[in-house]
Structure 1
Amino acid sequence: MLSESSRPIIESTLQTIAERINDITVIFYRKMFEYHPELMDGMFSRADQAEGIQPRALAGSVPVFASYILANPDSYPDEMLARIAHKHASLGVTADQYEIVYKYLFAAIAENLGDACTPEIAEAWTEVYWLMADVLVKIEKGLYDGQKNDVIHSNFKLVSRKEAGTSVLDMIFEPADSTVMSDAVAGQYVTVIVKTEDGLRQPRQYTLLPSAQNQRRIAVKQNEDGEVSPMLHKLEVGDIIEISNPYGDVVLGGYSDQDSQPLYLFSAGIGIVPMVAFLAELKKNHSKRSVVAVHADSSSEAWPLREEYLKLVAELDDAKAISFLKDGEGDFQGEVRVESLDMPRLASVYMCGPLSYMQSVRSALVQQGIPGRNIQYEIFGPDQWILRATRRSMRGNRV
């Protein structure tokens, strides 16, 4: 809980900090990587840094957290914090690294604000930072303690690779050492680390596909302009890379077959991966739940994991697949039209795909009367969307 002495200071400076956070972020990362270049090795994405996505997501979470606790003095933004903590755990973030972030973030704030950064302002924002950091450290400790091993990233050997759609590889890895594998829940992801041509270890997250015991299976779509996916596509059977324990909070937990809410799975392109995992989990549990799997793609040839996806749908008791393909060969042509699906208002929805796709689908779902709380999503890379969603959830609730 924010102290009464800090509350008025945060209220009066929140807008300024929020407006300046992008400029503050530039200073923050420049200073931090200058003195701690080791953080770029295996933890921070060089590509996301160049695009500015990861910096805005990390530093931007602090004013969002501040805004939330001003509006909700007795609670924290649990969804946002859980999303951050799972990503941190997959990268191996440690408690002492919050001290490093604090040092350089607050040096950047002081530099940006200049004389306006009084000791009282610095102290109030320090309180906000450590309220957030302490919660994250506790969540991350719980995530680490819940694993079957204490290894952040262990070695895995590629044992199978095959094409699974246009520029998509279906890849299976098995342990290359004696590290005990932790259990994964459908919808979770792992951080994969490869060594780039200049020797820097770079991380990326990939959702896990259904696999045999003692295996990790992922689908990698090659981004020709990317840094990691082309390296993964060059791997041959027998090559070894580093893979984390499974993490991620976008899972099917919380619903049961007794729940009358039908389940809708919306995916586009490689966003089909978590949906395949969900469908396999439903099949494994002999689910009787009503499921509608909606996929959008350019063509049936480009559609990743198409045969496996459709087979899983067909094997469920009450499920159907609906496709929106731009080439006209699907059930519908063009972009997804939610209004054509006649969805019940109490449907539970999961989404995965490009951000623009999910934004469009979510807007249409809300317009059709689906409550926002019933819509969950997985996003590739740093999640700035949840920061905006957290802000939206607070509108009309300010004190």
Structure 2
Amino acid sequence: MLSESSAAVVAATLPAVQAHGEAITGRFYQRMFDAHPELLDIFNRGNQATGQQKAALAAAVAAYAEHLTGGSSGMPWGPILDRIAHKHASLGITAAQYPIVGRHLLAAVGEVLGDAVTPEVAAAWDEVYWLLACELIAREARLYTVAGVAEDGAVWRDWRVAEKARETADVVSFTLVPADGAPVSTFTPGQYVSVAVDLDGDRGQQIRQYSLSGRPGVDHWQITVKRVRGTAGAPDGMVSTHLHEQVSVGDTLRLSPPFGEVSAIGEGEPLLLVSAGIGVTPAMAALEHLAATEPERPVVLVHADRAGATHARRDELPGLQERLPNLSVRLWYEDAADGELAGLKADVAGGLVDPDLIPLSPGAQVHLCGPVPFMATVRGGLLRRGVPTERIAYEVFGPGMLRG
């Protein structure tokens, strides 16, 4: 809990911090990377280049301060802290790195706000930071213990590519087995692994997270990777391009244990899976798991994509419908020419899923995965239809959370 004196100072200075949040976090990253260039091997350079990371950090820090001072940021802090902790654990973040972050973040506040940052103000915001840091350190320590990871954050393990299968022009699936022949740990559909790759030139190591897209409990893992093509002047995705072009069967990748706080399968109720684009990957893991463990469970899959040709792993759905007799599939495609492929009818609606047309069983557990605007629209529609907030889980690729 924030001390009473610090709470008053933080409340008084919060508007200024919010107004200059992205300038502060932008300066923070610049300072930290100048002093510790090795940390560039952990942070997503793509999100740094687009500004997504600094925007997400600014919003999170300001909202946490508002939460501590009794404000109403509208952000549910338990899920947010769990999401951050799982992401940090998948990167191997350690408690020893938090003082580095804190030092440069507080220095950036002083540089941006200038004389307004008195010793009293600096001490109050330092207290905010360490309350947040201690909550995350504790959560991450528990995650490492459960995953059997040492306290030094040594999460990486070598995996060999046993198979590389092209799903669409821009999507490939990798079947992975432990390079040392050790047992394969299981996971919950909806969880992801970090993949660390060494890039050419001065680009160093980069890490990305990919959902485990196969069935848990077998002798291999599977990830399904969409190649990120740059638009509007943005560069192509460094890691996805590397995986598509440079990684072949027999090569080795470094993977973390499975992390991720969101389950895509719920706890036995009717299940509604709603996805868009590459967001279908956790849904496919859920369907494979249910086909093996709860084949009679009522499940609805609603998926949106540009076309049938871009819908990754679409050809697996007819077989899953045979194994899951109570599986209903609804597809929305932008391209009306793809009305029916592989025996599956596409409900073409301009590529937009209308939440009012989604089949909804009483008591259904919902899992969403896709672009944030897509999930916000679907979630808002389901809430209007009476689905309780606690029954709607969602997975965001990249920084940020759904709001409200």
TM-score of the pair, normalised by structure 2: 0.88
More deviation, 154-163/142-151: 142-151
Task: Please point out which of 203, 206, 216 is paired with 1:202.
Answer: 206
| Higher relative contact order (Cα pairs below 8 Å, separated by 6+ residues) | 1
Q: Secondary structure at the match of 1:370?
A: coil
Instruction: Answer whether contact 1:154 1:179 (CA < 8 A) is retained.
Output: no
Q: CA deviation at 1:92?
A: 0.5
Measured in 2, the distance between the counterparts of 1:135 and 1:44 equals: 21
Task: Please point out which of 390, 394, 403 is paired with 1:373.
Answer: 390
Task: Please point out which of 339, 354, 358 is paired with 1:337.
Answer: 354
State the 4+ residue runs in structure 1 displaced beyond 4 angstroms. 178-181
Q: How does 1:25-64 map to 2 (within 5 A)?
A: 25-41=25-41, 43-64=42-63
Q: CA deviation at 1:359?
A: 2.2
Measured in 2, the distance between the counterparts of 1:356 and 1:131 equals: 31
* Aligned counterpart, 2:8: 8
More deviation, 96-105/357-366: 357-366
More deviation, 315-324/175-184: 175-184
* Aligned counterpart, 1:395: none
* Aligned counterpart, 1:397: none
* Amino acid across the alignment from 1:210: G
- How many residues align? The count is 381
Measured in 2, the distance between the counterparts of 1:76 and 1:269 equals: 27
Task: Please point out which of 325, 329, 353 is paired with 1:321.
Answer: 329
Measured in 1, the distance between the counterparts of 2:332 and 2:287 equals: 19
Task: Please point out which of 361, 385, 392 is paired with 2:401.
Answer: 385
Q: Secondary structure at the match of 1:266?
A: strand
Q: How does 1:279-290 map to 2 (within 5 A)?
A: 279-290=287-298
Q: CA deviation at 1:372?
A: 2.9
Q: Secondary structure at the match of 2:16?
A: helix
1:250 and 2:262 equivalent? yes
1:298 and 2:311 equivalent? no
Q: CA deviation at 1:85?
A: 0.3
* Aligned counterpart, 2:143: 143
Q: Which sections of structure 2, spanning at least 5 residues, go unmatched?
A: 230-235, 340-344
Measured in 2, the distance between the counterparts of 1:14 and 1:123 equals: 14
Q: Secondary structure at the match of 1:16?
A: helix
Measured in 2, the distance between the counterparts of 1:180 and 1:336 equals: 41
Measured in 1, the distance between the counterparts of 2:163 and 2:332 equals: 30
Measured in 2, the distance between the counterparts of 1:363 and 1:47 equals: 29
* Aligned counterpart, 1:273: 281
* Amino acid across the alignment from 2:220: Q
Instruction: Answer whether contact 1:194 1:201 (CA < 8 A) is retained.
Output: yes
* Aligned counterpart, 1:84: 84
* Aligned counterpart, 2:233: none
* Amino acid across the alignment from 1:38: E
Instruction: Answer whether contact 1:69 1:76 (CA < 8 A) is retained.
Output: no
C-alpha distance 348-286 of structure 1, shift in aligned 2 (>3 A): closer
C-alpha distance 127-264 of structure 1, shift in aligned 2 (>3 A): same
Measured in 2, the distance between the counterparts of 1:312 and 1:185 equals: 19
Q: How does 1:30-179 map to 2 (within 5 A)?
A: 30-41=30-41, 43-71=42-70, 77-150=77-150, 151-177=154-180
1:350 and 2:362 equivalent? no
Measured in 2, the distance between the counterparts of 1:213 and 1:65 equals: 40
Task: Please point out which of 213, 222, 245 is paired with 2:218.
Answer: 213
The CA RMSD measured in Å over matched residues stands at: 2.1
